[in-house]
């Protein structure tokens, strides 16, 4: 029985090899623009597996080596597209491949291959639950390229959950909190800040997040009052105190971080540091 299985295996391997040998000349004969030697063609996945004797991890390593040794100085847009295909193949064969997601994060999003990068990083984050960096890079790309701070912050929170280092957790959570405040939907930002405050195990950081939620609530209140003032007066107030004078607010809410609120010509309210007290102003 064992001999029969080995014979069947050898026959199958021979059939695959013959099929690959007959296909390869046609693949390389396909028209393509001149590109870097290492990135001349994206070989079909099944052919890569055959070349690796059926071992998908070996196939991932072989494709990863192509991406690792490529020189990017003189590559064209088509070269980078092929590089993205090669690296997505590596991720498909072995999503936990560390070198692959490093190279993808460092090169691909900056040369127009963002979606490929996110595909690789998402798979790496799932396959490497002990590694916070794929989720961090994914979140950064959402924040920087897609201009979506909410989704970016969600991935930073995921990154924080994938590290056991306490300081790394706090740093990632704090960065996520900062990104959330840049979202246009302040109500959603407030909810996320409070959710993060409930989730964290660190009391001091929880208190910090709660204060940030209070600040966002204050900014939302002041922004709405400024918009109402503009509807009534035809222009935005030059100072937030005018909102109280116009009976739109009972009082200006105190900032939880002891900052002061100011309003610009577009009616946007922000928190700024109070003016420094000079020696001449002291009693």
Torsion region of 264: left, alpha or beta (phi above 0 gives left; psi -120 to 50 gives alpha): beta
Residues 90 and 111: their CA atoms lie apart, in Å, by 19
Residues 68 and 60: their CA atoms lie apart, in Å, by 12
Confidence of residue 48 (pLDDT cuts 50, 70, 90): confident
Residue of 30 and 113 predicted with greater confidence: 113
Residue of 91 and 189 predicted with greater confidence: 91
Using alpha carbons, select from 8, 36, 37, 40 the residue that is nearest to residue 24: 40
Residue of 24 and 135 predicted with greater confidence: 135
Average pLDDT over residues 26-38: 49
pLDDT of residue 141: 94
Residue of 179 and 36 predicted with greater confidence: 179
Average pLDDT over residues 180-202: 84
pLDDT of residue 92: 92
pLDDT of residue 209: 86
pLDDT of residue 278: 55
Confidence of residue 181 (pLDDT cuts 50, 70, 90): confident
Average pLDDT, the chain: 82
Residues 195 and 14: their CA atoms lie apart, in Å, by 59
What tens digit of pLDDT does each residue of 192-249 get? 888 888 888 778 888 888 988 999 999 999 999 999 999 999 999 999 999 999 999 9
Torsion of CA 135, 138, 139, 140, to 10 degrees: 120
Query: Cα angle vertex 167, ends 166, 170, to 5°?
Result: 90
pLDDT of residue 36: 45
Q: Are 179 and 152 in contact (CB under 8 A)?
A: yes
Q: Give 241's contacts (C-beta < 8 A, 6+ positions apart).
A: 252
pLDDT of residue 276: 66
Residues 179 and 81: their CA atoms lie apart, in Å, by 30
Residues 69 and 39: their CA atoms lie apart, in Å, by 10
- What is the residue extent of each domain of the chain? 11-128
Residues in the chain: 283
What tens digit of pLDDT does each residue of 53-80 get? 788 888 788 787 777 766 666 677 888 8
12-21, long-range: CB within 8 Å, 24+ apart, which pairs? 13/53, 13/54, 16/50, 17/50, 19/50, 20/47, 20/50, 20/51
pLDDT of residue 250: 94
Residues 227 and 256: their CA atoms lie apart, in Å, by 23
Evaluate if residue 262 carries a pLDDT over 90. Answer: yes
Confidence of residue 30 (pLDDT cuts 50, 70, 90): low
Residue 164 burial (10 A CB sphere; 0-12, 13-18, 19+):
exposed
Residue of 255 and 13 predicted with greater confidence: 255
Q: Give 283's contacts (C-beta < 8 A, 6+ positions apart).
A: none
Q: Minimum mean pLDDT among 6-20, 30-44, 57-71, 201-215: which range?
A: 30-44
Evaluate if residue 10 carries a pLDDT over 80. Answer: no
pLDDT of residue 274: 82
Please indicate, yes or no, whether the overall pTM of this predicted structure exceeds 0.75: no
Residues 193 and 7: their CA atoms lie apart, in Å, by 63
Residues 9 and 57: their CA atoms lie apart, in Å, by 20
């Amino acid at each position: 029985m064992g001999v029969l299985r080995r014979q069947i295996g050898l026959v199958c391997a021979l059939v695959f090899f013959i099929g690959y040998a007959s296909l390869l000349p046609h693949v390389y004969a396909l028209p393509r623009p001149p590109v870097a030697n290492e990135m001349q063609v994206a070989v079909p996945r099944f052919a890569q597996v055959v070349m690796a004797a059926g071992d998908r991890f070996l196939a991932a390593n072989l494709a990863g080596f192509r991406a690792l040794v490529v020189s990017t100085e003189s590559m064209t847009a088509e070269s980078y597209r092929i590089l993205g295909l090669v690296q997505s193949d590596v991720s498909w064969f072995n999503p936990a491949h560390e070198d692959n997601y490093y190279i993808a994060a460092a090169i691909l999003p900056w040369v127009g291959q963002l979606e490929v990068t996110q595909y690789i990083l998402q798979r790496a984050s799932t396959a490497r639950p002990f590694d916070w960096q794929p989720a961090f890079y994914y979140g950064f790309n959402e924040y920087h390229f897609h201009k979506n701070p909410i989704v970016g912050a969600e991935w930073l929170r995921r990154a924080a959950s994938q590290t056991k280092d306490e300081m790394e957790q706090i740093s990632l959570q704090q960065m996520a909190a900062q990104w959330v405040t840049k979202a246009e939907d302040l109500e959603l930002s407030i909810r996320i800040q409070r959710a993060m405050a409930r989730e964290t195990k660190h009391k001091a950081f929880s208190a910090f997040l709660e204060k940030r939620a209070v600040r966002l609530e204050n900014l939302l209140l002041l922004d709405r009052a400024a918009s109402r003032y503009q509807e009534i007066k035809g222009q935005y107030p030059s100072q937030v105190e005018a909102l109280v004078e116009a009976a739109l607010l009972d009082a200006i809410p105190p900032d939880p971080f002891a900052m002061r609120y100011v309003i610009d010509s577009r009616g946007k309210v922000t928190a700024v540091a109070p003016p420094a007290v000079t020696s001449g102003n002291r009693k």
